[in-house]
Structure 1
Amino acid sequence: MKIGFIGTGDITEAIVTGLIATDFPISEIILSERSQAKSARLAAADSRIRVTPDNQQIVDQADLLFLAVRPQVAEEVLRVLKFRDGQQVASLIATVTFESLLDWIGAPVSLSRSIPLPAVANRRGVTAIYPADELLESFYDALGTVVVAQSLDEFDAYAAASALMELYFGVMETASDWLCTQGTSPQNAQSYLTKIFLELSRTADSAPQASFASLRDNHSTPGGLNEQMFSVFADSGGTKALTQALESVAKRVRNAREA
């Protein structure tokens, strides 16, 4: 199977880095030349990777084609290309709707959307896709975990939740800064917090049947420090602020769909 990517940014690099370390049946990975630094680095990593400046060549030769250009230039890039009827096309372009993509593509392709996250480079990513697609599910399963959205609203919700990454590191940064005011070195603060959160994630991952609420209860004692931490956080508006942030991003995603 030949896999093609139009656009070679960070997510394309993460996908290809993970993919070449798997047993997924690929004979060739065809990358667009932009960005040159990333495409050259990837080409040097595996003999199955070929780089070309000709996007039409990628469209013509790919069995599974990924669209990974920036939303601002997507229409300009896609309208000049000629796609095959029924061609398998997977869009990684955030906030661009099915309707817009199909209009720009100008052919009845088999179109899906997905949200791969950077951890696919280590084959530990979780990727939301819509609609269900057997080939795409198999592809992303090789790179970690696949979540198939049952509706566009559900897919948009995953897109909003994926924006939690900066918030996560912001929480870690805030806690690290506080530890440093107590006399901890930045290195020790970061190492300590990283291990705490890593092990908590492992606990949740090893017990998928346990809800977050039950895990929270299992990690707190009535009247204990963990219970106090969450209570103060919630009473101070922390959980409300998080919900508001999610709703804000979700609204932006929905508005882009409806525009």
Structure 2
Amino acid sequence: MEAERTLGIIGVGEIAHAIVSGLCDGTDVPPAIALSPRGARTAAELAERHENVRVCPDNQAVADAADVLILAVRPQQRAEALAPLTVRPGTLVISAVAGTSVADVGELLGHDGPVVRVIPLPAVSRRSSITVTYPAHPVAEALFDRLGGALVAPAEEAFDVFSALTSTFTSYYAYLATLADWGTRQGIDGEAADRYVRGLFENAAHALTDASKTLPRIAAGHETPGGINERIRTTWYEPHREPLERALDALLADLKRGY
């Protein structure tokens, strides 16, 4: 995205903070950014840190200033936040509102210009996260390429599948917390258990950087026949694989209906 384009963001929570940080921290020519007052503390902190960032008095002022308008409000707030807005013709609208189709965003805004859906993650703050986008748009892709890379979904149905996959994020952290908690209950010092689990999975994640190996191959490479990893996989993971898939199926159905 060219520096002369103004980026507006409505809804200044964790994802907006991550996007602004990724675009501004340690960069030579960050874009001008206009933030909504929703999430006032975060917006004020970002404006204080970056001279190219300003907080607007209301959402309409953000829309008026923006050449590229990012919507980062919660699904439950979408009607209240979006319906009153007037978006300038030609504005690129980028929606991070979960479960809200391209058509629904356009209808809520009364906007017949381009709308792109995205799934940004907190790691865009470090410019190290792949962001799924739909449909293809060169400006949206250039923006998220700066933040770690854009992955264009081939259809909106596929975008919803990527969105469902993203829902497993916090369960992964909860899984690690459960392991550390179990170790503590077995008598290990809590700090030591936490440190070990973190180190264990930081090292395991390194294997994911080798794109020449499939995920099943990586898993097999960390397991020996009759070993302790195989035991936990067969006694715990395998019996719970189908419930996980059913939960994802149910979420996907909700996402397709409008979450």
TM-score by length of 1: 0.92
Tell me if structure 2 keeps the 8 A contact 1:3–1:26.
Answer: no
Counterpart residue number, 2:249: 247
Question: Aligned equivalents of 1:129 and 1:24: distance in 2?
Answer: 26
Counterpart residue number, 1:178: 182
What do the CA deviations read for 1:132-182 (whole angstroms, capped 9, x no partner)?
121111111111132211111110011111111221122112211221122
For 1:125, what is the secondary structure of its paired residue?
coil
Tell me if structure 2 keeps the 8 A contact 1:114–1:127.
Answer: yes
Tell me if structure 1 keeps the 8 A contact 2:9–2:35.
Answer: yes
Tell me if structure 2 keeps the 8 A contact 1:3–1:29.
Answer: yes
Selected match of 1:124 from 122, 128, 153: 128
Selected match of 1:233 from 233, 236, 244: 236
Aligned alpha-carbon RMSD (Å) = 1.7
Letter of the 1:87 partner, please give it: T
Query: Is 1:100 the equivalent of 2:81?
Result: no
Letter of the 2:218 partner, please give it: L
Task: Tell me the percent identity.
Answer: 32
Tell me if structure 1 keeps the 8 A contact 2:23–2:31.
Answer: no
Question: Aligned equivalents of 1:27 and 1:68: distance in 2?
Answer: 18
Counterpart residue number, 1:12: 16
Query: Is 1:153 the equivalent of 2:152?
Result: no
Change beyond 3 A, Cα 1:129–1:246: same
Counterpart residue number, 2:76: 72
Question: Aligned equivalents of 1:114 and 1:161: distance in 2?
Answer: 14
Structure 1: state its 5+ residue gaps: none
Counterpart residue number, 2:143: 139
Number of residues of Structure 1 aligned to a counterpart in Structure 2? 255
1:15-54 residue pairs with structure 2 within 5 A?
15-21=19-25, 23=27, 25-54=29-58
For 1:147, what is the secondary structure of its paired residue?
strand
Change beyond 3 A, Cα 1:78–1:43: same
Counterpart residue number, 1:256: 258
Counterpart residue number, 1:218: 221
Letter of the 2:103 partner, please give it: E
Tell me if structure 2 keeps the 8 A contact 1:24–1:142.
Answer: no
For 2:149, what is the secondary structure of its paired residue?
strand
What do the CA deviations read for 1:174-213 (whole angstroms, capped 9, x no partner)?
21122112211221111111111111112112x1121111
* Of 118-127 and 153-162, the range deviating more from structure 2: 118-127
* Of 23-32 and 114-123, the range deviating more from structure 2: 23-32
Letter of the 2:180 partner, please give it: S
Question: Aligned equivalents of 1:4 and 1:58: distance in 2?
Answer: 6
Question: Aligned equivalents of 1:247 and 1:22: distance in 2?
Answer: 41
Letter of the 1:240 partner, please give it: E
